[in-house]
Chain A
Amino acid sequence: MIKRLILIVALLCSAFPAFAVNPDEMLADPALEARAREISTHLRCLVCQNQSIDDSNAELAKDLRVLVRDRIEKGETNEQVIDYIVSRYGEFVLLKPRFEMQTLLLWGMPAFLALVGLVGIVVFSIKRRKSPSGKPLSEAEKAALEQILKN
């Protein structure tokens, strides 16, 4: 069932789920087109669930793709294009959020946890090294041992 949701959402997003970029949208210059594709994979289709505008066939995604290509043709860099799209549609449009106050935890989590884990392992193993290994026998075990020794 795990795929069901994306399948359905994919269908909801598109009249024909086949694909997104159509030949009539593409730029003639392959280098510019490649840049447009690269930018498109980082921009979210606003009406879809977790789809980039490059994958989505929704009307709004098409508008965005055309917009991206317009800006590229005007000679803007990738960053300028993305900045422009964000200024119009907000941070929500970015599939890879920028590093800022509200995404601090998101970006910081892997490094933070790795650090905590490493420190934890080191502290734990130092503590273990100092304490004697093994634990004293329990009363029951002592009794069992005595029993064995007696026989």
Chain B
Amino acid sequence: MIIEFGHYLLILSLAVSLVMAIVPMIGAWRRDASLMLVGHNSALLLFVLATCSFAVLVQAHMASDFSVKNVWENSHSLVPTLFKFSGVWGNHEGSMMLWLFILVLFTALVAIFGGNLPETLKANVIGVQGWISSAFILFIVLTSNPFTRLDPAPVEGRDLNPVLQDIGLAIHPPLLYLGYVGFSVCFSFAVAALLEGRIDAAWARWVRPWTLAAWTFLTAGIAMGSYWAYYELGWGGWWFWDPVENASFMPWLAGTALLHSALVMEKREALKIWTILLAILTFSLSLLGTFLVRSGVLTSVHAFASDPTRGVFILAILVLFVGGALTLFGLRVQRLGAGGIFAPISREGALVLNNLILTVSTATVLTGTLYPTVLEALTGSKISVGAPFFNLTFGLLMVPLLLAVPFGPLLAWKRGDLLGAAQRLMAAAAGGLVVAAIVYYANNGGPILSLLGMAIGFYLMLGALTDLWMRGGFGRVKTNIAFRRLIGLPRSAFGTALAHFGLGVTVLGIVAVSVYATETVLEMKPGDTADAGPFTVHFDKIEERRGPNFTEENGVFSVKRAGADVGQVASAKRIYTVRKMPTTEAGIRTFGVHQLYVSLGDLTDAGGVVVRVWWKPYILCIWLGALIMMVGGFVSLSDRRLRIGAPSRRSSAKPALEAAE
């Protein structure tokens, strides 16, 4: 009964979101306050309805109600409780429900925190959110209903895919969707601004917290997914340039560009048109990502052609929203007007360069991801585009961007002093080179390019510190005054510095691990040893064990450094009993930011087992950097300017009076 109630709530949500899509927009058009208020109320009501519907599905999974097809296909009574919960979105239908839940959550947040928005803007934003939620609820109800029943009800479920039985599934998709879907708010703001035909610095300030929040979550989601793949897949890779990864990376790149261009718009009222376009494109890329992943078009064109219902539906949503928004953009763009003027060498100029490179990078990833599919559809010719292509093209594009990053915050608005900024960054560049050289020699050299790569990483970190140093005025005023100034800086300044610092940490990790990682593949028997970096790995024993829903062969290794024991590491080969599916549980031991990674392979005829041992120095820097970026995002989000809300339009009409930061 409760399942049918959940289904009913979902259909009711559709009705409410249709009201939300139409009524407030009419209200905004006719300046009717009561109609606009309907938008606010229906956003809250929709949140309650869709959340309850989602909760019913969660409840069905927790209670292992196998009369529900979705639960039967993706769960089992023996699955640990946490994975019963996260298994809700470990499948197509459930993940669309999570998508919807986060969408209505953001819409409700706009309604609740949007009190300082002009009435019509708020009504239009909620209206656009209404269109998006209507489309997605319709998609779920018509093609991906999670509440389908089975009669008679099976006694036992078919189990959750073993690779998904991991804490990663509980964290990664919600974070990723918070990012993906968060950009829908920016999209709605952009469309609402186009509908109103008016956009100014206040608009940018309203949009900024949403962009920041979405970007921060997406950063966390991608980093988390990367770490999950790293330890779960068992071959030590952390980024594969897989189409599915690219699908999440493209909105991140575009979102990063949006974050920076919205800054220019907020401070200087320039780049208006571009910012609107980016806001539309970023969410379009999120939708495109959803389409690519959900339709299966990239896995195989043929799989898509054989069951195209879902794919075609999402494609229709994609065309409708992207096409509609871009058409509106084309019609209204003339009315937006131009903003402030700036010299090429200025903070604005640096941010334009940032946007140019990030946009070209996004387009490069997009081209590489879609090229094989499109080429095959057009000419029948089959090619592959994989990691070596992306590493080369994307890598080359990133070099000038990374070199330019520390310059941005050091240049003044309107007209900057490039030579002065370069002088101030001399110390960071020299320091970066020195520290990189130390790491280089400590690790017995390597290609000279790796030295330069690591130097860029350290230069980014030191560059971020230089920015804070300069803002405090260290060396120019008394140290205690400089400290007081530093503490008094707006939090967004710390957010910027943290994010740029984190970028440097990530770059360092990527370069260092790709050069200094060692890999040993060998056949081992208990008693054998293998070298891995500064460690020796001693194979102690292999033992059979039994988990709640799997059996495993667990290989135990003791790790020694210069003869002294430093601990144990264990890697297992599991067989999940229901699906008879094998997985590898990698054994990972962390030493500071370095990791020792052990993975068990096949048993050999000679009675040994193939073991792969990696020494991955600096690997944790990759995710540590992302974590620092994320913290930077949250610190910036807590800035007073955003916390107390945006100014009214009148006061924002003179942005020149604001403190230049």
CA distance A52 to B241 in the complex (A): 12
Binary interface encoding of chain A residues 87-102 relative to chain B, with 1 for a CB under 8 A from any of its CBs, else 0: 0001111111100001
Q: Report which B residues bind A (CB closer than 8 A).
A: 89-90, 95, 161, 163-164, 168, 172-173, 176, 221, 225, 228-229, 232-235, 237, 240-245, 247-248, 293, 299, 337-338, 340-341, 344, 352, 356-357, 359-361, 363-364, 367-368, 371, 375, 379, 381-389, 392-393, 396-397, 521-523, 573, 581-584, 599-602, 610, 612
Answer whether residue A123 sits at the interface, using C-beta atoms and an 8 A cutoff: no
With A2-B245, A113-B360: A95-B240 Cβ-Cβ less than 8 Å: no
Contact assessment for B229 and A6 in the assembled complex, using a CB-CB cutoff below 8 Å: yes
19 A-B residue pairings within 8 Å (CB atoms): A1-B90, A1-B293, A3-B228, A7-B161, A7-B163, A9-B299, A11-B163, A22-B610, A23-B521, A23-B522, A44-B384, A50-B243, A52-B387, A113-B360, A117-B359, A117-B360, A118-B356, A125-B344, A133-B341
The answer to whether B173 and A2 have CB atoms under 8 Å apart is: yes
Question: How far is A55 from B389 in the complex, measured between Cα atoms in Å?
Answer: 17
A135: which B residues are within 8 A, CB to CB? Answer: 337-338
B612 and A19 within 8 A (CB)? yes
Smallest beta-carbon distance A10→chain B, Å: 6
- Is the pair A109, B237 in contact by a Cβ cutoff of 8 Å? no
In the complex, A78 has a CB within 8 A of chain B: no
Shortest distance between the CB of B539 and any CB in chain A (Å): 14
Which of B293, B341, B367, B385 is the one whose CB lies under 8 Å from A5?
A: B293
Smallest CB gap from B603: residue in A? A16
Known: A3-B229, A9-B299, A17-B583. A106 touches B242 (CB 8 A): no
Q: A16-B573, A19-B234, A113-B363 are in contact. Are A2 and B382 (CB under 8 A)?
A: no
A41: contacting residue among B90, B225, B387, CB under 8 A:
B387
Q: Per a CB cutoff under 8 Å, which of B163, B164, B386 touches A52?
A: B386
Question: Please, what's the 1-or-0 string for A66-96, where 1 marks a CB less than 8 Å from any CB in chain B?
Answer: 0000000000000000000000001111111
**Structural contact, A16 and B582, CB atoms closer than 8 A:** yes
Residue ranges of A at the interface with B (Cβ–Cβ < 8 Å): 1-11, 15-23, 26, 41-42, 44, 49-52, 55, 90-97, 102-103, 105-107, 109-110, 113-114, 117-118, 121, 125, 128-129, 131, 133, 135
Q: Can you name 14 extra interface pairs (CB under 8 A) apart from A7-B232, A17-B582? A: A1-B95, A7-B161, A10-B233, A23-B610, A51-B240, A55-B237, A95-B387, A96-B389, A96-B392, A102-B381, A105-B371, A128-B341, A129-B341, A135-B338
B233 touches A2 (CB 8 A): no
CA distance A20 to B228 in the complex (A): 20
Complex: A10 Cα to B247 Cα, angstroms = 18
B176 / chain A contacts, CB cutoff of 8 Å: 1-2
- Give the CA-CA distance A37 to B371 in the complex, in Å: 26
Residues of B within 8 A of A113 (CB): 359-360, 363-364
Across-interface contacts of A15 in B (CB, < 8 A): 582
